Structure 1
């Protein structure tokens, strides 16, 4: 008999909905979205704009948007999600298993505690220990999180660093199941050659030039200034830097670039060949494959990153990767065959890695091919198959 799976998740997310769609063919599924009606979650603080994803996130599976009674609704704080009817609605569905995405909201934690011992609780999150520094805070956090994870029967970990996190807070090997973090490999890998060429042409990038891409929120934790300053100081011939995204640092990044232009005494409108730093606004999901395919090297210099699904996206587009050692996926997805890892916040190390990686475009392309081969195992299909296997046991 097909098992019934209840999923508790804050809101439709482009990296989760495709998994729900696949699971709906393997189990009897219902997703309970806790953030409230769609209009309540579409403003993205990191991008500093309202985001309307241009992919269908609610097709081909059963779901309900629960009423959120929080005084200040949002996923940015614990009391931002308060659903008085969550437990009743999940109970009425009669699940054999419950999969909860994240515990750091009042309703999610309440559900974990209520259903523990009544229905097997499965958990999904991507936290890691890469930024554990304060001994006292770490000890207090360990006590608290051990209490949290006592409510979990099994956790689907996304990668090596995430598994170590769960182990640190009391979960044992028998409770931990690998279900790889993933993106739509097929969609990102589908050729967008014409659009990619158009992007490079519009930026005045030559065929033999190398483009380093940063794509994401322009916020402090992503550390875009480190990349900008390293690039300016290197001043490499035939190498371009492209920032794609918006956020609180956007204006200051552009101001730094304007200062650089004044120092070098050139005007991009008149000296296109000298203008090797470029900015593009936020690009929606259907545009992003062409953006990745227009670059040669993807760089994520974050000071902290639970995983970094943009790395998956770039790899699915066949690109080489340069990321900091604070990016959660680094240990699983990046090695000398497809890129490099630099020490977080170390500008000199970043500069050295950029120099080495941009020496030979042919080698860079080979690294990209290695990325494409490696990421094939990190797919929605593998993730959904693992989850359905344990749900149907």
Structure 2
């Protein structure tokens, strides 16, 4: 009998939609997706970007899905063989854990936590958080680790290795690689005012304090002349502050949607993510899939699995001098490191996700 897998997630997520279509097409699993909310599909105000966002890729097509408001949670759980949760923060997730336990349904947990991004804290607050997490984890049969730091997080709570199955945090590599290959980067350079042979440093994401785009600007200013162009793609609360830091060679391109991003990655020689407390950083995957070298802080979850000297550089979070050195080092051999990045990300993909999910389902149904 084909296992019936119920996946519960907060809302349709642009990164996940192609993975869900792949799982739905697999003959070895019967997938049904339950969204806590679906109002974001028509567009919404994203507080991180500080602007209205409507993703230009299909979010609910190609797989069986339903909104929680349109069904009964207990009935959905009762009809499934395995429950897969994306996180545990919402009351609905916690209710699902209780219902699954009552109905004898095994739960697979997939979340983004690792100690650098979401530390327990100290004192009574840390003790209470650990108590709460032990309650959550005791109701899960298996754990889908998105990367090595995430797996280590579960082990710290006493989860045995046989209950931790790798399901890497991935993007649609084929989508980004194909769009990057087709991109007219010469025209994009002209549009942005970048010289034909000038190197390009790219920051793409939310202009938020935790992500530290201002550190990219400071490091760029420290590079020796002639400097590469600094391309800032995105928007958010720090926009005015960053614009006040601007010098010639720094370009703001605004928010860009999913189908537009590959051209920017393809144009860049290096992508930078200097965040602190970053659970993963899927933009790192996107850049690497487009053949772009990456420089990230050591507080970016993806750094532990995807970034080393062959694909880019990792620097100590907050150390602008180290970021500057890392940028100069990677720019010196950006093409070679970009090729290595594409090679490295090739197996960190949805096929590996599907294999991990199959292994996890078989384990909990054991």
TM normalised by structure 1 equals 0.86
**Which of the numbers 268, 272, 289 marks the counterpart of 2:262?**
289
Deviation of the 1:345 alpha carbon: 0.6
Which of 102, 106, 110 pairs up with 2:87? Answer: 102
Contact 2:120 2:130 in 1 (8 A): no
Question: Which residues in structure 2 correspond to 1:82-231 (within 5 Å)?
Answer: 85-91=72-78, 94-116=79-101, 118-131=104-117, 132=119, 134-136=121-123, 137-190=125-178, 191-231=180-220
Which of the pair has more CA radius of gyration? 1
- Counterpart of 1:35 (choices 34, 37, 60) is 37
Q: Deviations over 1:31-71 (max 9, x none)?
A: 11002544687321111122111111211111111229xxx
Would you say how many aligned residue pairs link Structure 1 and Structure 2? 357
**Can you list the C-alpha shifts for 1:156-178, whole angstroms capped at 9, x where unaligned?**
10101000111122321111000
Q: Residues 246 and 202 (structure 1 numbering): CA distance in 2 closer, same or farther, change over 3 Å?
A: same
Q: Which runs of 5+ in 2 are unaligned?
A: none
Choose from 327, 334, 337 the match for 1:367: 337
Please report the RMSD computed on the Cα atoms of aligned residues, expressed in angstroms. 1.9
Q: Is the 8 A contact 2:205 2:235 kept in 1?
A: yes
Judge conservation of contact 1:219–1:247 (CA < 8 Å) in 2.
yes
Q: Distance in 1 between matches of 2:131 and 2:280?
A: 24
| Equivalent in the alignment of 2:232 | 243
Per mean C-alpha deviation after superposition, the further-off stretch among 131-140 and 317-326 is 131-140
- More deviation, 121-130/197-206: 197-206
TM-score (norm 2): 0.92
CA shift in 2, pair 1:184/1:379, >3 Å: same
- The 8 Å contact of residues 12 and 38 in structure 2, kept in 1 or not, is answered as no
Q: CA deviation at 1:193?
A: 4.9
Unaligned 5+ segments in structure 1 are: 69-83, 262-274
In the other structure, the counterpart of 1:382 is 352
2:23 is matched with: 23
8 Å Cα contact 1:215/1:245 also seen in 2: yes
Question: After superposition, what is the alpha-carbon deviation per residue over 1:168-207, rounded to whole angstroms, capped at 9, x for unaligned?
Answer: 2232111100011101111111144542222222233233
Secondary structure, counterpart of 1:383 in structure 2 = helix
Do 1:159 and 1:180's aligned partners in 2 also have CA atoms closer than 8 Å?
yes
Query: Please, which of 253, 272, 279 is the counterpart of residue 306 of structure 1?
Result: 279
Name the stretch that deviates more: 22-31 or 135-144.
Answer: 135-144
**What SS does structure 2 have at the residue aligned with 1:207?**
coil
CA distance in 1, matches of 2:88, 2:339: 38
Indicate the SS of the match to 2:69. Answer: coil
Match of 1:268 in 2: none
Matched residues in 2 for 1:163 and 1:214: separation? 28
Maintained 8 Å contact 1:37/1:65: no
Quick check: 2:330–2:337 contact (8 Å CA) kept in 1? no
1:53 is aligned to 2:42: no
What SS does structure 1 have at the residue aligned with 2:6?
A: strand
- Contact kept, 8 Å, 1:296 with 1:365, in 2: the verdict is yes
